[in-house]
Amino acid sequence: MKIKIILLVVLTFLSCSSDDNTVVESQEEPLIIELVTNNTNVTIDEVVTFQVKTNKPFGSITYSTDNFITSKTVGKSLGDSFGTSLTLYVNTANIGKITHSIEVSDANNPSKKAKSSLSFTVEKGNAVRIKDVLVNSFYDKDNIWDTEFSNTDPNRLADVFFVLQKPQIGTLTGQFQQQLWYKSNVKENQGDLKWDLLQDNLYVNPNAIIQLGLADDDGGGIAQDLLLGPPYEKDINLSQYISTKPDNIIFEDNSINLDVDFGLEW
Ligand SMILES: [Ca+2]
Ligand SMILES: [Ca+2]
């Protein structure tokens, strides 16, 4: 008798639960996403936001600027959610069109997802352009940076490349942080130490501090710092040139024989 009662209870529970699911499934409205912004025509390094809005709380968000070839996902633990609205920030570091693709999942039913995308056009605005870079000197230029070669072998010379960083905004945080902006090709054994950057469209808000790194490429992802860091980057303050708008600036650090020319366009 006891067994029968338990069995009956289990069966009742199963059937109720099954019925409930069926009802929920059929009545559940789909997750709907909408991306909302005031402005899709923006300028270099401008702070631009858009809202991710949903009809139901979402528990994870995946965002991408290359149609999900690469992406980042941020999720809440079960039972928690982002609510139905979240502000994201657009990285306006580079000129041209940038498309944000967003996918969210239902906080209460993570297998239910919705996605959408929104495009922005980034224009020059008041930005200054870095047209070219010429490295006139660096520490131990013309000397041995590749010790595997002899004193007279041209291969002893540094295989030079530079990187530029500038403050770029975090998609979720809205905070500016120095991030890689440009990495040059390598001038083997010093080469001409001159880089024409016109095709790279390097525009920056002149009120920002940009950073220069300079290194000897040893291959295999290994490099020797030509700035004798840390720090491995030098700060360049462009704001001091806003009123005079020179075509060229010279960045020097005599302590390490550093002398770099930047060609600018205002
Ligand atoms: Ca080396
Ligand atoms: Ca070399």
Q: Where are the domains of the chain?
A: 30-123, 128-265
Looking at all shown ligands, the one closest to residue 218's CA atom is 1
Looking at residue 10, its pLDDT comes to: 41
Q: What distance in Å separates the CA atoms of residue 142 and residue 156, rounded to the nearest whole number?
A: 9
Looking at residue 26, its pLDDT comes to: 52
Looking at residue 13, its pLDDT comes to: 41
Report yes or no: 160 and 226 within 8 Å, Cβ to Cβ: yes
- For all residues of the chain together, what is the average pLDDT? 91
Looking at all shown ligands, the one closest to residue 160's CA atom is 2
Q: How confident is the model at residue 192 (pLDDT cuts 50, 70, 90)?
A: very high
Cis peptide before 230 (omega within 30 of 0): yes
Using a CB cutoff of 5 Å, list residues around ligand 2, an ion.
146, 155, 159, 189
Report yes or no: 88 and 52 within 8 Å, Cβ to Cβ: yes
The correct answer on CATH 3.30.70 for the domain covering 128-265 is: no
Ligand 2 midpoint to CA 192 (Å):
13
Question: pLDDT exceeding 90 applies to what percent of the chain?
Answer: 88
Ligand 2 midpoint to CA 137 (Å):
16
Ligand 1 midpoint to CA 157 (Å):
8
CB-based contacts of 11: which residues, under 8 Å, 6+ apart? none
Angle CA 247–251–256, to nearest 5: 160
Q: What distance in Å separates the CA atoms of residue 213 and residue 180, rounded to the nearest whole number?
A: 10
What's the CATH number for 30-123?
2.60.40.1930
Residues 217-241: tens digit of each pLDDT: 999 999 999 999 999 999 999 999 9
| pTM for this entry | 0.83
Looking at residue 212, its pLDDT comes to: 98
Ligand 2 midpoint to CA 232 (Å):
20
Ligand 1 midpoint to CA 191 (Å):
15
Average pLDDT score over residue span 210-214: 98
Angle CA 78–82–85, to nearest 5: 150
Looking at residue 7, its pLDDT comes to: 41
Average pLDDT score over residue span 6-17: 42
Amino acid at site 98? I
CB-based contacts of 54: which residues, under 8 Å, 6+ apart? 31, 32, 33, 34, 84, 85, 104, 114
Phi, psi of 3 (to 5 degrees): -60, -45
Residues 21-54: tens digit of each pLDDT: 444 455 678 999 999 999 999 999 999 999 999 9
Residues 107-142: tens digit of each pLDDT: 999 999 999 999 999 999 999 999 999 999 999 999
Amino acid at site 241? Y
Question: Would 30-123 and 128-265 be classified into the same CATH topology?
Answer: yes
- In the chain the first and final C-alpha atoms are separated, in Å, by 91
